[in-house]
Structure 1
């Protein structure tokens, strides 16, 4: 007879309800029965809420209950204009007037007191300095100079300050003056003494005005329309313009020198104009230089090269000195490169319109690059003609 082993079946586990049953509530007493209510419909909840007495509004104390505290609404009562004028009076106080007399003025900087920490503040631009600068703190300038030091820039903000029309007109006119000199048969080396003769006195006057504040104020009142406000305490851009034009005309051949001056005159102006108008919509190349300005310089550089080498020199020339032109309408690969790729001299040479097109595109690239590059923080009136001359001279030295 076999014995069958039976397994012990575990008992069913007891499931505890998370909510107390009605019997548990009845057994615990009336106090605990109020802690739990069964499911309730929305209509029953509204009836129960209506039957419950609500505290009066006067019984609620916002000061005692931080949850009930809230900000007061803004008053909509009208503002008394007389009271407002009293609060915004522009009459300086006697203490401020006495303090302004004790301030010392340095050239290019506003008068500062002895305890000033050198930072700009609205109090340093109050009307106590109006006799010195002729302005108030409400006339803050958007130029690199934050205090509006040139009076004409405040009177003609759009014409002189924002668009710089007189300055750009002078900038562009130099290019047309160079074209007139070329048509008159003037040699580039003959212009250099006049440029240096103008550079020396202008630089001397610029140094002098930085050491005498009254003369500096007179200087900017007379020539302020042709200046930027940053030049009140800095050196005039005309100095670098003359130095750059002198360098490119003195050290490079005639056609390269003329092209370098034309690129300085026209490409820089185009880059500044279109960069201010459309620079905010294009990527920024570096601080103060945008893709829109560089593209404008490129387009104007291409047109300038095509104008000079494609129309002006062939139709109005030749003039004395044109026989030393580096670009004569022919571009060719160097002999070593042509032999390395197996090209005959005739196939490695381009002439006519194709050569002029290549030369024009290269001139535009050089103009855009020289306008966008920052060389040790030097003024672009100096770097543009020098870098453009080097770029064109090097290209023609290799492929000319």
Structure 2
């Protein structure tokens, strides 16, 4: 029987590893994950201090960084000047990790104060007050995490602001009830000021004492935006705006201005959040959808007051001072200059009401969009709307 010849077993191939990349050879820039126990040990242990000679005028920031972070310590180069000995600019650039550590040392954790970080992320903290500015009244985008109830009710309280909007809407119906019961507008401002003073005082106290602020947020957090955690409460501006228009403007203009504040602002916020992403943005935080909602609700509010509320429950005490009494006319000087017939220079009945309603919707939408020194909408909407309606009726009524 012939012997079979066994196949030769090939020799084991030689595996030659590729040449290491420059980044692999230089392992000094790599910093592995840091655990809490390692940080505590490093913070508790005394760090070696590097002596510096008096004639060393190098970069203090880099020296401090190298001394404080052992993982980032490097061998000192021969020359620390950006220009080498041959007179050519050096092409060496510090690593990204070196820059990030230096920037973190300057700004601290999450943009906080230098030296306040411990190597971990921290929840956002209210920025310290560095002088007063008109922009302090603005409403910045609301974060999440400062008010406990906003974390538990993210959709109901934080996203849709249902309790806050319900309070906003209820003020308008309360004003309607006051008018229907014959309350004079001159008797309302003292009550508004009596509520404004203690509320503003409490808001001032909670910004000075953290314990008061925690209690305040726990009790009224559902009615607040988280941007108001370190800012002024919107109720202050609501009361101030209502006080201004009811104290200085005629009865019908003041009442309509408060109704526009109560209903148009809520409509703009609601529909702007629902459909604002599908429409052009007018300015930051204001979309065309919200402005159209404010315009339509403003028209409906003016028509509701002049066409239904006043005829149904009126005349009430003080209604004789109404600026709009169902008649609009062009100024006499303009009529004489242009030679317009008297029949074409006046509007009465539904036509006059339609014009006033259109103008009310326009000023409501414009005041909701306008940014006056960054002031709160609860102040600018009633004041600008009231001034716009007053000027229009002063000219044409």
TM-score under structure 1 length normalisation: 0.68
Call closer, same or farther: CA 1:395–1:212 in 2, change over 3 Å. Answer: same
Identify the residue that residue 329 of structure 2 maps to in structure 1: 332
Q: Is the Cα contact below 8 Å between 1:268 and 1:297 reproduced in 2?
A: yes
After TM superposition, give the deviation of residue 211 of structure 1 in Å. Answer: 0.5
Partner secondary structure for residue 115 of structure 1: coil
| Alignment partner, residue 203 of structure 1 | 200
Q: Please give the per-residue CA displacement for 1:204-239, whole angstroms capped at 9, x wherever unaligned.
A: 000000000011011100000000001010000000
SS of 2:282's partner is: strand
CA distance in 2, matches of 1:360, 1:309: 9
**Residue of structure 2 equivalent to 1:377:** 374
Shift of 1:146: 3.9
Query: Is the aligned partner of 1:125 residue 2:126?
Result: no
> Residue 88 of structure 1: CA displacement?
12
**In 1, Cα distance between the equivalents of 2:38 and 2:153?**
27
**Equivalent residues in 2 for 1:168-247 (5 A)?**
168-247=165-244
Are 2:157 and 1:160 equivalent residues in the alignment? Answer: yes
Which of 147, 150, 160 aligns to 1:150? It is: 147
Q: Give the drift of 1:347.
A: 2.1
Equivalent pair of 1:125/1:147 in contact (CA under 8 Å): no
Matches within 5 A, 1:100-115: 115=115
Number of aligned residues? 298
The answer to whether the 8 Å contact 2:265/2:294 transfers is yes
Aligned equivalent of 1:69: none
Q: Distance in 1 between matches of 2:378 and 2:36?
A: 42
Which residue of 2 is the match for residue 318 of structure 1?
A: 315
- Tell me what 1:38 maps to: none
Task: State whether residues 244 and 385 of structure 1, in contact with CA within 8 Å, keep that contact through their aligned partners in structure 2.
Answer: yes
List gaps (5 residues or longer) in structure 1.
1-55, 67-86, 99-108, 130-142
Match of residue 272 from structure 1: 269
Tell me which of 273, 280, 296 is aligned to 2:293.
296
Aligned-pair distance for 1:125? 2.9
Q: 1:166 to 1:146 in 2, by over 3 A?
A: closer
CA distance in 2, matches of 1:354, 1:95: 81
- Aligned match for 2:389, one of 367, 387, 392: 392
> What SS is found at the alignment partner of 1:235?
coil
1:282 aligns with 279
Q: How does 1:37-48 map to 2 (within 5 A)?
A: none
- Cα 1:358–1:89 change in 2 (3 A) is farther
Query: Hey, what's the Cα distance between the residues in 1 that align with 2:149 and 2:37?
Result: 25
Q: Is the 8 A contact 2:237 2:376 kept in 1?
A: yes
Range 286-295 or range 145-154, more displaced: 145-154
For 1:329 and 1:249, the matched residues in 2 are separated by: 22
Q: Conserved in 2, the CA contact under 8 Å of 1:161 and 1:228?
A: yes
Q: Following the alignment from structure 2 to structure 1, what is the Cα–Cα distance between the partners of residues 159 and 355?
A: 36
Distance in 2 (alpha carbons) for counterparts of 1:114 and 1:65:
38
SS at match of 1:271: helix
| CA distance in 2 between partners of 1:110 and 1:64 (Å) | 40
* Residues 210, 216 of structure 1: 8 Å contact kept: yes
Secondary structure of the equivalent of 2:122?
Answer: helix
Q: Distance in 2 between matches of 1:204 and 1:330?
A: 45
CA contact (8 A) 2:144 2:151 kept: no
Structure having the higher Rg: 1
**Larger RCO: 1 or 2 (CA < 8 Å, sep 6+):** 2
Unaligned runs of at least 5 residues, structure 2: 1-10, 22-32, 45-108, 126-139
Q: Work out the CA distance in 2 between the residues paired with 1:330 and 1:391.
A: 18
SS in 2 for 1:123: coil
TM-score of the superposed pair, with normalisation by structure 2: 0.69
CA root-mean-square deviation: 3.2
**266-275 vs 311-320, greater mean Cα deviation:** 311-320
Cα distance change, pair 144–88 in 1 and its aligned pair in 2 (3 A): farther
Measured at CA, do residues 91 and 383 of structure 1 come closer, stay the same or move farther in structure 2, by a change above 3 Å? farther
Mark the CA change 1:175 to 1:146 in structure 2 (over 3 Å): closer, same or farther: closer
From 302, 307, 315, the counterpart of 1:305: 302
Please give the secondary structure, in 2, of the residue aligned with 1:297. helix
